[in-house]
Amino acid sequence: MTGPAPVRLGAVSYLNTRPLVYGLERDPAFDVRFDVPSRCAELLHDGAIDVGLIPSIEYLRGPHGPYSIVPDVALASRGAVASVALYVAAHIGDISRVGSIALDVSSRTSIALTQVLCARLFRIAPKLEPQTPDIARMLSRSDAALLIGDNALFLDHRSLGATKIDLGEAWFQLTGLPFVYAVWAGRPGVLNAANVAALRHARDAGVARPAEIAHRCYGDEARRTIAERYLRDNMKYDLGDDEKAGLKLFFQYAGELGLVPPSSELRFYP
């Protein structure tokens, strides 16, 4: 007799998600694939994976209603995140003068966060222009550029003369709450208690090993140093009460802008 089919798990290919998938590729209960965040969401919406580490904004965009979330696990920051940022072109200088923003199309939560912050904190209404994440090209066409992931983490924006605005820090300035960038989510019933425990155990094991993960991901010593500090100090991997409050407030603000259906409901796997 054969056992149950493995859970098709869609993970994100960025450094910051590696602690969440520590050891899962060797777990026969899971079949893991890696993509950019926006692609993870597409695969989940299309039913091509069972559970995805999806941009948090996509939780409310499922074709059959809200998904269920793996409890206590998230990709979050409380303040500066370092890897989600707006870069303002040197000739513009200040966010208040930005009239257009080039958006990294590999993200969806960060695009929605940019729109929320523009409306509520920066008090601007820029033209939004989705583009591939090429900072030089983006800033040649727009006043500012949104970058996420490793492209943002390792960018030397000073060499471009650009100003970096950390969106995790901006959200905390606006709300005093953490920001949740991604969650494990899927259709109700596709995970059992053992699967949920395995995902939480992977998180715990990965969070305890920032130096090991940084060393595995990068051969360059300078990048390893940045990566280890980032995993240890910037990224948070819990979904506690403060994170839930921040997520609900983000959904409220996004709903008011018409970016998602109005909802603050959070449903969890048992």
Task: Give the domain CATH number at 107.
Answer: 3.40.190.10
Same domain, 69 and 187: yes
Q: What is the pLDDT of residues 132-160, one digit of tens each?
A: 899 999 999 999 999 998 899 999 998 88
DSSP state of 227: H
How confident is the model at residue 3, as a pLDDT? 59
- Final residue of a domain: which of 149, 175, 201? 175
Whole-angstrom CA distances from 36 to 43, 45, 105, 112, 229 are 11, 15, 10, 16, 22
DSSP state of 15: G
Q: Are 69 and 267 in contact (CB under 8 A)?
A: yes
From 169, 112, 176, select the one nearest 146 (Cα to Cα): 112
Question: What spatial distance separates the first Cα and last Cα of the chain, rounded to whole Å?
Answer: 28
- Final residue of a domain: which of 175, 195, 212? 175
Q: Has residue 2 been placed in a domain?
A: no
Same domain, 232 and 152: no
Tokens 């010593």 belong to 221
The separation between CA 159 and the C-alpha centre of its own chain, rounded to angstroms, equals 26
For the purposes of burial, counting CB atoms within 10 Å of the CB of 17, is it exposed (0-12), middle (13-18) or buried (19 or more)? buried
Same domain, 63 and 120: no
The domain of 93 spans 84-175
Three-point CA angle 264, 171, 22, nearest 5°:
80
Same domain, 56 and 106: no
Residue spans of alpha helices (H) in the chain: 37-46, 109-117, 135-141, 150-153, 157-160, 167-175, 193-207, 210-217, 221-229, 241-256
Q: Has residue 228 been placed in a domain?
A: yes
How confident is the model at residue 264, as a pLDDT? 65
Whole-angstrom CA distances from 13 to 2, 19, 33, 41, 241 are 31, 11, 9, 13, 27
Same domain, 138 and 15: no
- Identify the segments of the chain with pLDDT beneath 50: 1
Q: Has residue 248 been placed in a domain?
A: yes
Same domain, 27 and 140: no
Same domain, 95 and 216: no
How confident is the model at residue 1, as a pLDDT? 42
Same domain, 163 and 125: yes
Q: Has residue 48 been placed in a domain?
A: yes
How confident is the model at residue 165, as a pLDDT? 97
Q: Has residue 88 been placed in a domain?
A: yes
Tokens (6 digits) for 231: 């995993």
- Final residue of a domain: which of 175, 206, 222? 175
Q: Are 116 and 250 in contact (CB under 8 A)?
A: yes
Same domain, 157 and 89: yes
Q: Has residue 270 been placed in a domain?
A: no
Q: Can you tell me the distance from the alpha carbon of 196 to that of 203, in angstroms, rounded to the nearest whole number?
A: 11
Q: Has residue 268 been placed in a domain?
A: no
Same domain, 141 and 170: yes
How confident is the model at residue 106, as a pLDDT? 81
Q: Has residue 263 been placed in a domain?
A: no
Same domain, 11 and 134: no
How confident is the model at residue 93, as a pLDDT? 80
Domain count of the fold of the chain = 2
Same domain, 171 and 117: yes
